[in-house]
Amino acid sequence: MNNPLLKVENLKVDFKLEDGKLFHALKSISFEVPENTTVALVGESGSGKSVTSMALLGLLPKSNTIIDPDSKIEFNGNNILKLSKTALRRLRGSDIAMIFQEPMSSLNPVFTIGNQIIETLMLHKSLSRKAARARTIELLNEVGLPDPENRINAYPHELSGGQQQRVMIAMAVACEPKLLIADEPTTALDVTIQKQILELLAQMQKRHGMSVLFITHDLGVVAEFADEVVVMRHGSICEQGSIETIFSDPQHSYTKALLNCRPSLTSRPQRLAVIDDFLQDKPYVPPPERHRGYQPNGDIVLDVVGLSKHFRIKTGLFSHQDLKAVDNVSFQLQRGKTLGIVGESGSGKSTVGLTLMRLHPFTAGHAYFDGQEILRMPAEDFKHLKPRIQIIFQNPYASLNPRFTVGQILMEPMLLHHIGENRQQRKQLAEELLEKVGLPDSAFHRYPHEFSGGQRQRIAIARCLTLKPEILICDESVSALDVSVQAQVLNLLQDLQDEYNMSYLFISHDLSVVKHISDQIMVMQQGKVVEIGDPDNLYSNPQQPYTRKLISSVPKDPIGGGMLFQQASG
C-alpha cells in the first residue's frame, strides 16, 4: 500500500436549515487516498459524495455549514480545514484539481477554451502568455482533442460533450496536480465516449503520477478503472476495500444492491433488483428470466417507411448546407412490444422520436399509426391522435411546469382532451395514477422541485398515462438517474406495458438498459439504420463494425460477465 496522499478522519458536516434544524450531510466518515492510486467514491444521490469533494476543496458555503472541530482532512500532512483562504487558493488548481459532471456549466461560455487553460497556467505556473499558449496546445493534444492548434480558439459550445470533457481534463492536469477529483465525469456521455474518457483518465493518472478520487453512482463504471472503492449511503460509509474484494465478496447489503441493480448483458430478469430487495431480513432470490422478441405475425401499431429529417445549417452570409439528422429510416413497432433505438449523440435517434411526434417537421417518408398517415394529416386531425402517442423526455424537471402542483400537471391534459366529466373525477384519476407510479397521495399538492429526479420521472410518466396512450416514446428517460432509481423506473415501465399492452419506442445510449427492456433493437449512426434485429442475436452476433464497437464499450459486469446473485443472495 502506498503512503496516503489524502487522509480523511472523522469528517462530520452539518447544514443549518431555514427552520433552524440541522441536516447531517456527513456522519464522521474516514478514508484514505494513497499516492498514485485511484479511489472510487460510490453512492446514490444524497449519499454525501459531492459534499465530501467540496469539503476537500474548502468550497462548502460558510454561511450554513458546520464542520465538527475534531474533523481532519490531511493533504500531504497539512490539515486543509485549518488553511487560510490564500493557502487554499494556492492549493486548488496546483496541488488539487477537480473535473465536474457537466462541463458546459463549468466552462465559461464567453471565453475560448484556450484562454481558460492559458489563464490557469499563467496564474498557477507563472508562465508568459506565449509559453502558456504553447503548453495549452500540448495539453489539448495530450487529451486527444483533434486539431489543437485551431481548436484552441474554439468556444465551449462549438465542441461536443466528450470534447468539452477532454478540455476540462486538460485544464485540471495543466498544473500537474497531485490529486485529481473527478465528480461524475462520464454520467451524461455515450458509452463509447465514456470509455474514451475513462481510458484517458487512467493514462493521465499513470503519466503524471497523480492520485484520482473518482466520484460516481455506478459501481460498474469503476470495475476496470479504480484500485480502491468507498461505498457511501446517507452520509456514512457502508463499506470500503479493494476492487477485487468489493466485487467478489461484498459484505454490506447496500453494496450488494448497487452491484445488482444495473441491467446485465448476460441475463434478463423479469424485474430488476432494487435497493429494498437487499435491505430485508430474508435473502434476495432473483426472479426468472423474461423472454423478449417480436412475434412472427404480431399486430403492427406503427409502420415507419423512409423517414428523413434534414436541418438547414447556415454556413455563410448567403450559403447553407443540409444536415441529414435522419436519413431514410424504416422500422415497424408491434403492439405491446418495445423497439429500442441506440446510437451515439448525433446519430439521429432522438430526432426520430421528435419527428414522429410532429415536434419537428419531416423532410420525407411516411409513418402509419393504426393505418393512418400521421405525418401528412392536417394538424387538427393529428390533435385527436395526440393522446394515443405520448413522449417522456430525458430531463423531467425541464418538462414539468415548476409553477404547477403535481395535481395541476396531471389534470391539465385531462382538461384539454376532455377526460373526466368534472374536476372531482379528474382529481380521482390523478390520485389513482400517482398510486400506480408509486407516489403517495400527498404528492398531489406538492411542486416538482420538492421531489427527487426519479420521483419527477414518475410524475412525467403519470402525466403521459392520463391520456391512456397506445405508444410511449421514452427519450433517454432513465439515463440521468442513479442505477437504483433507474431500476425502479424500468420496472414501472415494464409493469405498465404488461397491464396496458402499450408499445414503447425506447431511445437510449445505454446498451445494457436497451437490451434489458427491448423486444427488437435498431442501431443508428449518422442518421442511418446500421442494424436492426432481435436483442439477443444482435448482442451475441453483431453484423456491423459500429455495433461491435458500441457493445465493446459497455462496462463489463464485474464478476465473470454476470451479476452477483450468488454472493448477493447468500
Please state, in angstroms and rounded to a whole number, the distance separating the CA atoms of residues 106 and 169: 12
Residue 162 is placed in which grid cell? 466528450
Q: Which three cell numbers stand for residue 359?
A: 415536434
pLDDT grade for 569, boundaries at 50, 70 and 90: very low
3-state helix, strand, coil in the chain (%, to 5): 40, 25, 35
Give me the CATH code for the 35-63+83-250 domain, please: 3.40.50.300
**In the sheet where 300-314 sits, what is the strand order?**
320-334, 300-314, 364-369, 372-373
Question: Which CA distances in Å does 350 have to 94, 213, 234?
Answer: 41, 34, 35
Task: Choose the weakest-confidence range: 181-195, 243-257, 315-329, 537-551.
Answer: 181-195
pLDDT given at position 308: 96
Q: Is the pLDDT of residue 196 over 50?
A: yes
Q: How many angstroms separate the CA atoms of 467 and 499, rounded?
A: 15
Average pLDDT over every residue of 497-509? 92
- Of residues 523, 519, 517, the one with CA closest to residue 551: 523
Instruction: Report the pLDDT value the prediction gives residue 106, as an integer from 0 to 100.
Output: 81
Name the residue with higher pLDDT: 355 or 279.
355
Beta-carbon contacts of residue 63 (< 8 Å; ≥ 6 apart): none
**pLDDT tens profile 207-217:** 888 999 999 88
What average pLDDT does the chain have?
A: 87
Residue 452 has pLDDT above 90, yes or no: no
Its pTM stands at 0.82
Q: Which residue has the higher pLDDT, 366 or 268?
A: 366
Q: Give me the pLDDT at residue 565, please.
A: 33
pLDDT of residue 560: 43
Closest CA to 519 of 487, 497, 492: 497
Host H or E run for residue 198: helix 191-208
The share of the chain scoring above pLDDT 70, in percent, equals 95
Q: So what's the pLDDT on residue 2?
A: 67
Task: Look up residue 446 and give its amino acid.
Answer: R
By C-alpha distance, which of 556, 537, 551 is closest to 292? 537
* Residue 563 pLDDT class (50, 70, 90 cuts): very low
In sequence order, what are the residues at sequence separation of 6 or more whose Cβ sits closer than 8 angstroms to the Cβ of residue 507?
A: 340, 341, 349, 350, 352, 353, 473, 474, 475, 476
Taking only the tens place, the pLDDT of each residue in 486-502 is 888 899 899 889 988 99
| pLDDT (average), residues 9-31 | 91
pLDDT value, residue 557: 56
Nearest 10 degrees: CA dihedral of 405, 407, 409, 411?
-150
Residue 525 three-state SS: strand
- Inform me whether the pLDDT recorded for 153 exceeds 80: yes
Question: What pLDDT does residue 567 have?
Answer: 34
Tell me what percent of the residues of the chain surpass a pLDDT of 90.
42
SS3 state of residue 343: coil
Give the range with max mean pLDDT: 35-49, 246-260, 298-312.
298-312
Q: Residue 232 and residue 454: Cα distance in Å, rounded?
A: 19
List the chain domain ranges: 35-63+83-250
pLDDT for 559 beyond 60: no
Mean pLDDT on 84-97 = 86
How far separated are the first and last CA of the chain, in Å rounded?
Answer: 30
User: By the 8 A CB rule, do 402 and 459 touch?
Assistant: no
- Whether the per-residue pLDDT at 287 is higher than 60: the answer is yes
Residue 261 near residue 483 (C-beta atoms within 8 A)? yes
pLDDT band at residue 307, thresholds of 50, 70 and 90?
Answer: very high
pLDDT of residue 86: 87
Give tens-digit pLDDT for 382-433: 988 888 999 988 777 778 888 999 999 999 989 888 888 899 999 999 998 8
Mean pLDDT throughout 449-460? 81
pLDDT at 566: 34
pLDDT at 568: 36
Q: Enumerate residues 6+ apart whose C-beta is below 8 A from 146.
A: none
**pLDDT tens-place string over residues 29-79:** 999 999 999 999 998 888 899 899 999 988 888 888 999 999 999 998 889
